[in-house]
Amino acid sequence: MKITAIDVFLTCPTRNYVVVKVHTDAGIYGVGEGTLNGSEPIVAEAIRHVSPLLIGRDPRNTEDLWSLIYHWGYWRGGPIYMTALAAIDMALWDIKGKIANLPVYQLLGGASRRGVLCYGHAGGRDEVEIEDSVRSFLERGYRVVRAQLGNYGGLGIVGHEPPVTEGTPPTHFFEPAKYLVSTPRFFEHLREKLGMEVDLLHDVHEQLTPIEAAWLAKQLEPYRLFFLEDALRPEHRNSWKLVREASTTPLAIGEIFSGRWDCLPLFQGGFIDYIRIKPLHVGGITEARKIMMLAEPYNVRSAFHGAADIGPIAQSASIHLQMTIPNSGVQEWTDFRKSDLLCEVFPSPCRFSDGLAVPNEAPGLGIDYNEELGARYPYKQAWMPLVRRQDGTMHVY
């Protein structure tokens, strides 16, 4: 069997996605995804750039092809190339499943659980609205819920400015004091109203200094968080020790990691409890599986990133992998089945029931891409938000 062509698609049915189809001389094709929020055209071009190296090669040799794509250019790694690699790797696993007439999770070792535990996003403008939102998720069967006061930064977002030029994003202004004070208060309210057994988590979104993050983790300790996400920027690798020693609040990070070398120091230091990678941005199923094997002896579980800027194909890859690994933790969940349009563009997204996500039992990843329909929704220029401090200094989002 040989690869004969690799097609790349940019589509925007509800938001931008990058899709690949890897074709073979056996008439079997595989689908993969290379979405990277705000950088989709760059990833698409990277896939096109590397594709000629794969033509004529056996798609079943996933390990060798992964190494070929990773090492061929000497300038390796980084989110752009690792996302491009992930798209092709997913498609190759989809082909393998179709050849074997089995869902991908069966090729990865078979099911270790009935489904993958998921969490949803609850929020509100005040403590009561957050409580009502959390209750609505619990009523829908969720067993784990993320709680946020407003958008990222909560009351710490103290102002806004319109875009400098049309089509670019507005600027938000963040100061930490109100955020640091209000976050423990609304978790105190939630525990008083909901009890201690409901699993709640919170996303800092990297907006604190190490000492601020350590203080917040300590203040939240009485409220038994499922985990505190992205308390620090990934660049502050040496500061995770400070946050860990300040509190027993479980910690999670990793959604913008791009490979095992980002993860391993945090595993070895015992600094985190959950790793927030996903196959989409670390080189695909092949690499994500290895990262989770590295995580297992350090008692680190998966908490795969799964916001709406990760599409249905990448979601399927995450669910297939987490069905098999012994250290599966939780999956951030976006219910693509709520959109009739997405279900037409990407037939058969994964299903959700009673707090668990379940992969389709069709061969491969169990999902497809409708080229004709996707072409009706062309790519739209999009940007990540801009955040500054009140004095105008650029701030991480």
The catalytic residue positions are: 152, 205
Beta carbons within 8 Å of 184's beta carbon, 6+ residues apart? 216, 219, 220, 223
Order the strands of the 171-174 sheet from edge to edge: 157-161, 171-174, 386-388, 394-395
3-state helix, strand, coil in the chain (%, to 5): 40, 20, 40
For residues 263 and 254, the answer to whether their CB atoms sit within 8 Å is: yes
Structure tokens at 200: 């709640």
Structure tokens at 130: 């957050």
What is the pairing mode between strands 144-149 and 351-353? Answer: unpaired
State CA 41 to chain mean position distance: 19
Closest alpha carbon to 230 in 256, 248, 261, 205:
205
Closest alpha carbon to 50 in 11, 10, 89:
89
For residue 132, the tally of other CB atoms under 10 A from its CB is 12
Tell me the C-alpha distance between 277 and 285, whole Å: 11
Structure tokens at 321: 């992998």
CA–CA distances in Å: residue 152 to residues 28, 121, 271, 330, 397: 43, 12, 23, 21, 8
Strand, coil or helix: what is 214? helix
CA–CA distances in Å: residue 36 to residues 82, 309, 365: 10, 8, 20
For residues 118 and 330, the answer to whether their CB atoms sit within 8 Å is: yes
Only one residue has tokens 């896939």, namely 47
